[in-house]
């Protein structure tokens, strides 16, 4: 059990929750989270948004039963985190872009912070697409060499993929597929973080199996980060 420090609404249905404790984790990894006893049965996977010495934060959108319970938690209330799980984003260098759609921004903040400290990073541009309203613009601005925000359009149309060696992305399926199509024939390598319903989060239950070029993969354990070309046709 860990104690909630803050849980604030940033925009309609979008929350940032900060939890006290010394947690482990790397960019792109996630925790299985619950704030209830046995019902609902499953914990909810949330990516690490940021990690400080004595706290961890999650950025989440209210979707259904579980995230509604999260949104009602007050400071000092308790929450249970198990993790970190998953492989996380690779430590890439050179010219790097982060591209997020909606809640896909969640794992990209820690990715930006982490990559910023990498030797050999030449530039770090961040592209974020939102449906209605942008959130955490100032935060991302602090770590980006260039921040591009798109509201209501297609963020994939705002990026020149040839400018980059690596693009790390997270967001709706259609957005990630559009990005993969766009990088066809370019040298930019894409790493994407994918979502799939899961039960255990650690690779035992085979609920989140996904077909890939390399056969069946477990999104929770082998992923959630994969080379774009392993998941979609490039």
Partner 1 sequence: MMNKFNDQLRVDFAGVNFKNPIILSSGTAGFGQELNDVYNIELLGGLSTKGLTLRQRSGNVGTRIWETPAGIMNSIGLENPGIRKFIEQELDFLEKIDLVNIVNIGGSTLEDYIETVKIVSELKVDMIELNISCPNLKKGGMSFGIKAKTAAKITREIRKITDLPLVVKLSPQARNISEVALACQGAGADGLSLVNTFKAMAIDIEAKKPVFENIYAGLSGPAIKPIALRMVHEVCQAVEIPVMGVGGISSWQDAVEYIMAGASLVQIGTANFINPRAGLEILKGLNNYFEKNKIESINQIRGII
E strands along 92-165, which residues?
Answer: 94-101, 121-130, 146-151
Does 40 engage in binding with partner 1 (CB under 8 A)? yes
Sort strands 55-61 and 78-85 into parallel, antiparallel or unpaired: unpaired
Does 71 engage in binding with ligand FAD (CB under 6 A)? no
Reference 128, options 138, 137, 120, 117; nearest CA is 137
Does 45 engage in binding with ligand FAD (CB under 6 A)? yes
Give the helix ranges, DSSP H, for the chain.
65-71, 108-116, 137-143, 173-183, 228-231
CB nearer partner 1, residue 5 or residue 207: 207
Among the listed residues 38, 132, 197, 211, the single contact to ligand FAD using CB under 6 A: 197
Residues within window 115-174 making contact with ligand FAD, judged by CB under 6 A: none
Does 216 engage in binding with partner 1 (CB under 8 A)? yes
Among the listed residues 200, 219, 225, 231, the single contact to partner 1 using CB under 8 A: 200
Does 111 engage in binding with ligand FAD (CB under 6 A)? no
51 interacts with, out of ligand FAD, partner 1, none, CB within 5 to 8 A per kind: none
CB nearer partner 1, residue 6 or residue 209: 209
Residues 56-85, mask of contacts with partner 1 (x by CB under 8 A): ---------x----------------x---
Does 72 engage in binding with ligand FAD (CB under 6 A)? no
Q: How many CB atoms lie within 10 A of CB 182?
A: 18
Cβ–Cβ < 8 Å for 191, 227: yes
Does 100 engage in binding with ligand FAD (CB under 6 A)? no
Minimum CB separation of residue 32 from partner 1 in Å reads 8
Q: Which stretch binds ligand FAD (CB under 6 A): 41-49, 131-139, 148-156, 225-233?
A: 41-49
d(CA 204, CA 218): 9
Residues within window 163-182 making contact with partner 1, judged by CB under 8 A: none
Token pair 């198990």 is found at: 82
Separation of first and last alpha carbons in the chain: 43
CA distances from 49 to 74, 84, 104 (A): 19, 12, 10
């Amino acid at each position: 059990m860990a104690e909630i420090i803050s849980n604030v609404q940033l925009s309609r249905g979008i929350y940032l929750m900060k939890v006290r404790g010394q947690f482990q984790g790397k960019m792109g990894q996630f925790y299985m989270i619950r704030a209830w006893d046995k019902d609902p049965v499953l914990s909810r996977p949330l990516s690490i948004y940021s990690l400080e010495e004595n706290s961890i934060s999650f950025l989440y959108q209210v979707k259904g039963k579980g995230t509604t319970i999260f949104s009602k938690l007050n400071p000092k209330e308790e929450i249970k985190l198990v993790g970190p799980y998953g492989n996380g984003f690779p430590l890439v260098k050179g010219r790097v872009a982060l591209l997020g759609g909606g809640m896909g921004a969640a794992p990209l903040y820690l990715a930006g912070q982490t990559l910023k400290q990498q030797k050999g990073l030449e530039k770090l541009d961040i592209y974020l697409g939102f449906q209605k309203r942008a959130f955490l613009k100032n935060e991302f601005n602090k770590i980006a060499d260039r921040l591009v925000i798109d509201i209501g359009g297609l963020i994939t149309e705002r990026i020149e993929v040839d400018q980059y060696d690596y693009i790390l992305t997270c967001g709706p399926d259609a957005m990630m597929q559009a990005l993969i199509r766009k990088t066809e024939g370019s040298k930019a390598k894409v790493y994407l973080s994918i979502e799939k319903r899961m039960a255990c989060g650690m690779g035992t239950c085979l609920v989140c199996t996904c077909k890939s070029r390399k056969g069946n993969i477990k999104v929770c354990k082998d992923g959630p980060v994969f080379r774009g070309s392993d998941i979609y046709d490039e």
